[in-house]
């Protein structure tokens, strides 16, 4: 009899636990989103604003409190963010306290095409539209279109990844045969780069030439600097 009573008590306790768990689970599912938290990687929200991200997250629900956790499609929301022209990557997730979190990485421009139409070249070599919120300080690219821009990508990328080159080079002009001229911030001599072959070697030669000529105070005596030969710098004086 005592054993049967013990079984009954254990069964009743188990049933109560299951009931409470089911009730808590239902309450959890029925809860609305408490708030939205947006974090931009690298601490920047230059090209897309938090307001734009919030609108994509709430999916026309008006506010965070109008979003039902049970019906929220995180994959769809994440896909919407990743389709945005200014976003490189996005991750969306729910925290235990009911907060909808979004971690957003923006696209990074490394050059700006100037011509009949203007747009950026981003760090992955893709075309990126201009942002109405912020104008990036990147080298200006002249004489380019979507067809020939890819060939210049290694040159522009090398400029943006080098502190010295970023400080001194402000533009890149395309010539016939996909050869390039570099435009300098402080000096008026032409720098003929040639095509996009041997990029690292040419830039190393240019930096060595520049520092030596600067030390000798001869930078203003040159009319043209030619880097196309790879293993040497050929200079023409004024």
* Digit-coded pLDDT (tens) for 106-122: 999 999 999 888 999 99
Q: How many domains does the chain have?
A: 2
Q: Do 195 and 82 share a domain, yes or no? A: no
- Statement: residue 22 has pLDDT above 60: no
pLDDT tens-digit map of 200-218: 999 999 999 999 999 999 9
Q: Residue 91's closest CA among 108, 79, 83, 109?
A: 79
- Statement: residue 169 has pLDDT above 70: yes
The tokens for 191 are 């720098």
Chain centroid to Cα 98, Å, comes to 28
- Statement: residue 160 has pLDDT above 80: yes
- Statement: residue 168 has pLDDT above 60: yes
pLDDT of residue 87: 94
Report the distance separating Cα 153 and Cα 126, nearest Å. Answer: 9
- Statement: residue 57 has pLDDT above 60: yes
Q: What CATH code is carried by the domain that includes residue 113?
A: 3.40.50
Phi, psi of 94 (to 5 degrees): -100, 135
Say what the pTM is: 0.79
Report the distance separating Cα 174 and Cα 162, nearest Å. Answer: 21
Residue predicted with more confidence, 7 or 133: 133
Residue predicted with more confidence, 209 or 74: 209
CA distances from 165 to 11, 126, 203 (A): 76, 21, 8
8 A C-beta contact, residue 195 and residue 202: no
Q: Do 131 and 193 share a domain, yes or no? A: yes
**Position 86 confidence tier, pLDDT thresholds 50, 70, 90:** very high
Q: Do 53 and 117 share a domain, yes or no? A: no
| Mean pLDDT, the chain, whole residue set | 83
- Statement: residue 189 has pLDDT above 80: yes
Q: Residue 200's closest CA among 168, 154, 166?
A: 154
Among 55, 77, 106, where does a domain finish?
A: 106
Among 106, 128, 148, where does a domain finish?
A: 106
| Percentage of the residues of the chain whose pLDDT score is greater than 90 | 54
Residue 1 lies in a domain: no
Domain range for 99 is: 31-106
pLDDT of residue 24: 38
| Percentage of the residues of the chain whose pLDDT score is greater than 70 | 80
């Amino acid at each position: 009899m005592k054993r049967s009573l013990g079984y009954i008590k254990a069964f009743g306790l188990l049933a109560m636990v299951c009931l409470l768990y089911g009730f808590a689970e239902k309450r959890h599912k029925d809860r609305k989103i408490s708030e939205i938290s947006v974090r931009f990687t690298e601490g920047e929200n230059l090209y897309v604003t938090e307001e734009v991200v919030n609108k994509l997250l709430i999916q026309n629900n008006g506010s965070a409190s109008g979003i039902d956790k049970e019906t929220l499609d995180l994959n769809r929301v994440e896909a919407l963010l990743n389709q945005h022209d200014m976003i490189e990557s996005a991750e969306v997730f729910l925290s235990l306290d009911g907060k909808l979190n979004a971690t957003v990485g923006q696209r990074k421009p490394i050059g700006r095409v100037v011509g009949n139409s203007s747009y950026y070249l981003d760090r992955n070599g893709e075309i990126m539209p201009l942002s109405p919120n912020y104008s990036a300080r990147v080298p200006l690219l002249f004489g380019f279109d979507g067809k020939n821009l890819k060939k210049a990508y290694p040159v522009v990328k090398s400029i943006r990844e080098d502190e010295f080159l970023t400080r001194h080079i402000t533009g890149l002009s395309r010539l016939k045969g996909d050869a390039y001229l570099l435009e300098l911030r402080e000096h008026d001599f032409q720098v003929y780069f040639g095509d996009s072959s041997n990029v690292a070697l040419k830039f190393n030669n240019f930096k060595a030439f520049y520092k030596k000529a600067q030390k000798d105070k001869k930078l203003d005596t040159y009319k043209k600097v030619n880097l196309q030969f790879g293993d040497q710098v050929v200079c023409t004086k004024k």
